[in-house]
Amino acid sequence: MSTSAEAPVFGNLLADAWVQGSGGDPLEVRDPADLRIVVGRVPSMTPEDVGAAYQAAAAGLEVWRATGPLDRATVLQRAAHLLRRDQQDLAGLIVSEMGKTLAEAGVEVAKTADFFDFYASLARLPQGELLADARPGTRTEVRVEPVGVVLAITPWNDPLLTPARKLAPALAAGNAVVIKPSEESPLITLRLAQVLRDAGLPPGVLGTVTGSSRVLSDALLLDPRVAAVTFTGSTPVGRLLEGRLAGTGVRLQSETGGKNASVVLADADLELAASVVTSAAFAQSGQRCTATSRLVVDASVADAFMELLLDRVSRIVVGPGRDPRTTMGPVVSKAQQRTALEHVVTARDAGARVVHGGRTPTDELLAHGCFVEPTVVDGVTPDMRLWREEVFGPVLAVATCHGLDEAVALVNDSAYGLAAAVFTTSLTASASFVERVDVGQVAVNLPTAGWDVHHPFGGFRDSGSPFKEQGTSGLRFYTRLKTAAVRHEW
């Protein structure tokens, strides 16, 4: 067990140095599987430190935007290589500070490397276009430019992958970035900054800021050097950012909450559906923006399906992520644990039935962690909080329907619009579902999660802004277009 004094102290990347900042006591990062263990400490940065980070970013921007796309791509490719080389070590750090299983963390590192490779590969695509011009002796072109200095605000649940989802396209396009990771899991983001520095990223192009969001908010958002803000987190914070940035000319990309639904129709392969839904709901302890948190089952197959589902859920092994027997780790914090359990109690008091889990594990070895049993709540109705509010934990709300039309209505009965899935053997039903559900990501006989780096990603309504992430679409937020007409004959 490591004490605070024994835990490593991480610094923030500022220009070409690792600094501790001018704030007070460092922030402790604890292992959610055992809160007695301090994994590391990070600086409590001040508003003055944020200003220094932006100053360094503005200087780095001038160097990086003048660097050719192929040379920028080489840096990203080197970063991908270093991530794969150090995959085991990086995965271990994710497990320690966030609580994923080693298998889940290993996949996160691998996919992070894929992001850098993918956006590096786009350097060989056209960087603009020539347009016809009716004026004699005139050539007109469209140039693609970086937007400038970008602020990236990232969450705790995918603490390496989400920064990569933002950094890879931003850097590929020639921007400089200041990144503010979550206070719950900042360590792996600082390691990523080290990887990019070792890969040859020039000084100032990337800066990191750790500390209290409340203390640093104004300095981060209102600096005149900020051209764009990309955020992943809760819907209330996303809405707050919209208000703060309105009228400033700063563009905002937000990927926020979700209340994703999977539908099991009467003709579905129930064995397949049960296995996929179990994974989609409880992998990463349900702490994925695309996790299945609502389940709609046709009444004609509800009993048979629930028997298969509960059998699979009962096989989930809850424990520390480093234990090879573990298939579901803790939630990230005591606050997250309390939130999940409170939602279960509220649903039960409203008349729903807790048919599996709903408590903290009784194993004494897990008593110092933030564990929640995988929980299935049946008989949930649309008027219950559990149907409408995001839990972000291992809690699955189950309702029944009668046919496709009612299923689609239940899926769309949400303020959120991130992801949905349907299980059916009917091409007609699957095509209708894809067309009619009001979400940004739709799957058929697949989980609500699992979108690859080249798949455009993002939701509708309270799940985020119109800007998609990932794929070639992910570059649009980080670029601006300049149209230039040159008269070369007169």
Bridge partners (DSSP) listed for residue 263: 296, 422
Q: Which SS3 state, helix, strand or coil, does residue 98 take?
A: helix
Angle between helices 302-313 and 270-282 (to 10 degrees): 50
Whether residue 233 has pLDDT greater than 90: yes
Average pLDDT over residues 443-453: 96
Q: Is 401 part of the annotated catalytic residue set?
A: no
Kindly indicate the confidence band of residue 155, based on its pLDDT and cuts at 50, 70 and 90.
very high
Q: 387, 378 in Cβ contact below 8 A?
A: no
Q: pTM score, two decimals?
A: 0.94
For residue 311, the model assigns a pLDDT of 98
User: What single-letter DSSP state applies at residue 393?
Assistant: S
For residue 1, the model assigns a pLDDT of 54
Whether residue 390 has pLDDT greater than 70: yes
Cα separation of 330 and 285, whole Å? 7
Mean per-residue pLDDT over the chain, rounded: 95
Kindly indicate the confidence band of residue 87, based on its pLDDT and cuts at 50, 70 and 90.
very high
Whether residue 30 has pLDDT greater than 80: yes
Whether residue 108 has pLDDT greater than 60: yes
Residue of 104, 108, 255, 469 with catalytic role: 255
Whether residue 107 has pLDDT greater than 70: yes
Contacts of 411 (CB under 8 A, 6+ apart): 261, 263, 294, 296, 420, 437, 438, 439
Place of tokens 């990932």: 470
Q: Which domains does the chain have, with CATH numbers?
A: 12-256+464-483 (3.40.605.10), 260-452 (3.40.309.10)
Residue 348 exposed, middle or buried by CB count within 10 Å (0-12, 13-18, 19+): middle
The side-by-side arrangement of strands in the sheet containing 138-146 is: 128-131, 138-146, 479-487
Separation of CA 132 from chain center? 41
Number of CB atoms found within 10 A of residue 52's CB: 20
User: What letters, b where the CB count within 10 A reaches 16 and e where it falls short, cover 11-41?
Assistant: bbbbbeebbbbebeebbebbbbbbeebbbbb
Nearest to 393 by CA among 303, 297, 484, 318: 318
For residue 105, the model assigns a pLDDT of 97
Kindly indicate the confidence band of residue 104, based on its pLDDT and cuts at 50, 70 and 90.
very high
Average pLDDT over residues 59-69: 97
Average pLDDT over residues 27-53: 96
Q: Is 255 part of the annotated catalytic residue set?
A: yes
Kindly indicate the confidence band of residue 5, based on its pLDDT and cuts at 50, 70 and 90.
low
Average pLDDT over residues 438-449: 97
The side-by-side arrangement of strands in the sheet containing 353-356 is: 353-356, 375-378, 395-401, 292-298, 260-264, 419-423, 441-444
Residue of 108, 289, 370, 373 with catalytic role: 289
